[in-house]
Amino acid sequence: MSKEKNDTIWMEKLYQSDVFGKQYKERLDLTGSTAPSSFTFQDIEATYTNILMNSTLSEFQQKALLTLFQEFDIIRSLIDPNRLKSFDSSMNEDKELLIFRKSSLGLTNIIIHDDECIAFSFIPYNSENKTILEFVQNPAELDKLALLFFSY
């Protein structure tokens, strides 16, 4: 289990204290902080749970999403956490799960189709940068895709 998961479990146990739970929560709550430690597994876990609860995903999409979010969690320990910008998701009419983030350079997407197809795309805001569309044949390659997702 990752350190962040252990920390999250530990903090949740502290918060449940009848006597000191409120004080622990006030002291340990970093949601308003700009410190790198505010990018916790809780942020990624909440987004992951939200996607699962609000989308009808195939078994392939669920497995790919879990693998992708595990890679997102690993990325936090490899790169500057401030690079881990927020992202959003939606389902389109073609039953594709879209995970996307906007940056100053453009729109970055990960597309997970229920027909067992995964793609990465980058659509730049200006012509200085190149449009990218890359298909991933093997879900084991999601580590590369996750790094690409946060590199733009």
The whole-number pLDDT of residue 43 equals 62
Residue spans per domain, the chain = 56-149
Residue partners of 112: CB distance under 8 A and separation at least 6: 60, 61, 64, 65, 68, 96, 97, 99, 118
Residue 128's pLDDT is 86
Average pLDDT score over residue span 24-33? 51
Confirm whether pTM is higher than 0.95. no
| Predicted confidence (pLDDT) per residue in 35-52, tens digit | 333 334 456 677 778 888
Identify the CA nearest to 58 among candidates 98, 99, 114: 114
Supply the DSSP symbol for 88: E
